[in-house]
Amino acid sequence: MSRSARIVVTLVTSTLLLGSIGAALWRADWRYSLPTPRPAELVQPERIEPGLFARLRAAAGAEHSEKPLLVHVYGPDCPCSRFNLDHVCERAREFGERVDQLALSELAEDEDAAPLQRNDELGLPELSENDGRIARALGLYATPQAVLIDRDGRIFFRGNYNLSRYCTRPDSAFARLALQALLAGRPTPALPPEATRSYGCELPNAASGARLP
């Protein structure tokens, strides 16, 4: 093969390789920009059961607290959960004195569901599950999500942290706006549909019909 032919082959091969990489990145970005499919049987309660609320408080180390509880729901293997890590850490520091906080880790069915510090960077107490029952009891089917529960067990906000993948848009900092409203004694703020329309990774066990007993 002549030198010019080898150059052409190399250029074509490099172009195809770069094109494939670009297409894969585009598909990944496009995938997570779309709403997560909503399960047909999904139930989103306005209030959680007292027993579950007590369990979540205990996991957060706040059995006797009267503060609101923020449950950060994430998947250790979900890219979207990694994208918003810095934002969640910032909120933990900003509201840590006024809100009890818990990370609910959603694992695949074959993973160990014992409480783990899988993401030490969060610095939050962690409760792990691999059957999705707690998440579904909270009305969730995707990660990452925030669930803000008031002192009486009412779900004040359930939805996204931000429209931006890295949570950099202050105008769509939905969870933060809800936290500010609750702590100021105001009702849940009027937010656009994008605040509560789940984006990100489907829960590993979202299709399961299991429910809390």
Q: Whole-prediction pTM value?
A: 0.76
> How far apart are the C-alpha atoms of 176 and 95, rounded to whole Å?
9
Q: Average pLDDT of 117-143?
A: 80
Residue 118: pLDDT over 60? no
Compute the mean pLDDT over every residue in the chain, rounded to the nearest whole number.
Answer: 77
What pLDDT does 57 receive? 95
Residue identified by tokens 């094109």 is: 19
Q: Average pLDDT of 89-94?
A: 82
Among residues 201, 102, 191, 210, which one has the least CA distance to residue 146?
102
DSSP code string of 30-83: HHHHSBPPPPTT----SB--HHHHHHHHHHTT-TT--S-EEEEEE-TT-HHHHH
At 60, the pLDDT band (50, 70, 90 cuts) reads very high
What pLDDT does 59 receive? 93
At 32, the pLDDT band (50, 70, 90 cuts) reads low
Q: Average pLDDT of 30-48?
A: 77
Residue 34: pLDDT over 80? no
Residue 15: pLDDT over 80? no
C-alpha distance from residue 174 to each of 64, 81, 124, 189 (Å): 28, 16, 20, 9
